Structure 1
Amino acid sequence: MKSIQAIIPGVLLTVVIAATSKFIESILPMPLISASVIALFIGMIINYFLQSDNPVTKGATFASKKLLKLGIILLGASLNMATVFQVGRLSLSVMVFTLLTCFGIGHFSGKFFGLNWKMSNLISAGTGICGGSAIASIAPVIEADDLDVAYAMSATFIFDMAMIILFPIMGHALGLSDMAYGLWAGTAVNDTSSVVAAGYAFSDGAGDFATMVKLTRTLVIIPTVIVFALISAHIKSKEEHKHEKAKFSLTKVIPWFILGFLALTVINTAGFIPESVGHTFKLISKFLMVMALAGIGLKTSLKDMKSAGTGPMLHGFVISALVVIVAIGVEYFMGLV
């Protein structure tokens, strides 16, 4: 009972921050910034004024760990693998190269800027897949620190703000068609809200296509979290069993919440989850993720971020810029430009 009482203040605060962030997102004239990023920044600002022994820490930790995992599970109810074959055939060709760029060149870029592998890959995942959702989904799988998550979210957010302005200008300068531009924006811009903003700033047709491509791109979360679960399990196994053979365990290789996420994805793909229920689960999932980002913000010190230097931001800029170039280059060789 005492443990429950201990988390209530922090959880309630994350609910307030999440609700406030969703409201701010809804009143913006265009989808410039997602509620997740807003919640993270609000949490970090509040953290600046909190004492080290504040009463919200335990609740913030509960939201950033437990509720985040529940949100990931529920997200599976809104993902349908059939979408890949319906609208994603064209975009998958481009995404293969952008993902190779993010995680291939990103590996060396992260080392060059002195980042740990968790922060480096979170930034790459946020850039290559779908911004905050990818970062939030992968972070607990690799047991990333709150500072790693905060930096990854910040790096992708800053780039997205620039792309909302620059993408339509570059698209018109290149003389792109609605489909070519929509494919480019949908595969190269990070967060969903930023894709929508950049897409419809070009034209309604480009916005529609960019949104479909982005939704397909979100499905890449599924194989990515599995791969990172395997990598994380391998690293932990080497550390724990340096001189003995580790025993195989599915729940150790793939965390339980990812199994739940995959199970709901399969059930939804098979058509057993009504669309209205899947939509409701998605809304709950998104709100839980916003709460989780608020919790991470409440535990993240602006001073700690400042001490980490400019490496993460530079890494994010390099990877994001390369993805933009690679995406349009692939379209050129496909004859779409």
Structure 2
Amino acid sequence: MQQLSKSHIPFFVVLVLCFTPWLQSPSALVLGLILSQLGWVPTNVPIAKWTKKLLSYSIIGLGFGISLSEAFKATSSGIGLIVTTIFVTLILGTWIAIKIGLDKKTGYLISSGTAICGGSAIAAVSPAINANANQTGLALAVVFILNSVALFVFPVIGHALNLDQHTFGVWAAIAIHDTSSVVGAAGAYGEEALRTATTLKLARALWIIPVALGSAWYFGKGKQKLQIPTFIFLYIAAVVVSDLLPQFETLYHMTFSVAKQTLVACLFLIGSAISLEQVKEAGLKPLLFGVGLWLAISIGTLVWLLY
């Protein structure tokens, strides 16, 4: 068994930094990948086990940051668009992934991130379908790249098409992956766009649960018994409790903040478990798949909103 050495110190230093505001999700994933290629990741550390547990804990904690009442209110005003885009994205993504020969779970994770809320959805669905670190890492990398592009491109397109604040807010909430990029793009466009995008994205986040449950069933077909991850029920409990007992809002906010940083640590661990050979073997196919699916949902949603 490999012993810990000085070369492994950076691994633990970065892991600790993941729990501070100084390190964000994309950077953590990249740093994990770099340390892995340098051979600075200790092989006697159960990274896969740590990642699975931390992913579950972080998703549960994120449940305390969702207002059930606000989410339902936002859902009621755009339920048709929300349901249609989610299921069309998942079905279309799954079909395309099969047709182009992309790894089934990698394609499904990218589709889930595109359909709901980027990295959070991938983090929730990943343990539900028993995806490995490489599949999860590739999906997250694709989503983070497209997120960065959307943050700058969407406001430019919105102004070029003279979209009103409400229309842009809806479009951003549906077509941009992560909530952070949705908020950033909509905030740059205007206050009304920001309010619209935030509430609608909040409503979409509730679909993590049915999608995770459906995913567990879909990938568990053929097994004698469906294994539903316990964290899904605890996530639901967190959402309900935070809504029924608002007097503990400060505690919920703290829990939500810790959960977000724990998710950063998860991404670092996922990156640490990815080998460059696996990435090269996957090639450009996952990225091109993600781009194609993203363009389809972005253009389709925009056409729906305009016509």
Verify same fold: TM over 0.5: yes
Structure 2 Cα separation of the partners of residues 209 and 165 of structure 1: 19
Could you tell me which residue of structure 2 aligns to residue 93 of structure 1?
80
Alignment of 1:55-134 (within 5 A): 55=42, 58-134=45-121
Partner AA of 1:168 in structure 2: P
1:257 maps onto 2:231 in alignment: yes
Structure 1 Cα separation of the partners of residues 38 and 64 of structure 2: 38
Structure 2 Cα separation of the partners of residues 208 and 255 of structure 1: 33
Could you tell me which residue of structure 1 aligns to residue 15 of structure 2?
15
Partner AA of 2:295 in structure 1: A
Structure 2 Cα separation of the partners of residues 206 and 161 of structure 1: 19
Structure 1 Cα separation of the partners of residues 78 and 160 of structure 2: 22
Could you tell me which residue of structure 1 aligns to residue 207 of structure 2?
220
Q: Equivalent pairs: percent with the same residue?
A: 31
User: What do the CA deviations read for 1:58-98 (whole angstroms, capped 9, x no partner)?
Assistant: 25334311111111222222223322332232333222222
Residue in structure 2 matching 1:39, options 9, 13, 28? 28
Q: Is the 8 A contact 2:11 2:35 kept in 1?
A: no
TM-score scaled to structure 2, two decimals?
0.89
Deviates more, 1:98-107 or 1:200-209: 200-209
Could you tell me which residue of structure 1 aligns to residue 261 of structure 2?
287
Deviates more, 1:185-194 or 1:67-76: 67-76
| Deviant stretches of 4+, over 6 Å | 8-11
Deviates more, 1:266-275 or 1:176-185: 266-275
Structure 2 Cα separation of the partners of residues 140 and 110 of structure 1: 20
Stretches of structure 2 lacking an aligned partner (at least 5 in a row): none
Alignment of 1:1-337 (within 5 A): 12-13=12-13, 15-19=15-19, 22-24=21-23, 35-50=24-39, 54-55=41-42, 58-235=45-222, 237=223, 246=224, 248=225, 252-271=226-245, 274-333=248-307
Structure 2 Cα separation of the partners of residues 262 and 207 of structure 1: 26
Structure 1 Cα separation of the partners of residues 43 and 266 of structure 2: 13
SS of 2:22's equivalent in the other structure is helix
Aligned-CA RMSD value: 2.4
Structure 2 Cα separation of the partners of residues 44 and 57 of structure 1: 17
TM-score scaled to structure 1, two decimals?
0.82
Q: Is the 8 A contact 2:71 2:202 kept in 1?
A: no
Q: Is the 8 A contact 1:57 1:299 kept in 2?
A: no
Q: Is the 8 A contact 1:11 1:63 kept in 2?
A: no
Give the CA deviation at 1:125. 0.8
Q: Is the 8 A contact 1:14 1:63 kept in 2?
A: no
- How many residues in Structure 1 have an aligned counterpart in Structure 2? 301
Q: Is the 8 A contact 1:17 1:43 kept in 2?
A: no
Give the CA deviation at 1:57. 5.1
Give the CA deviation at 1:56. 5.6
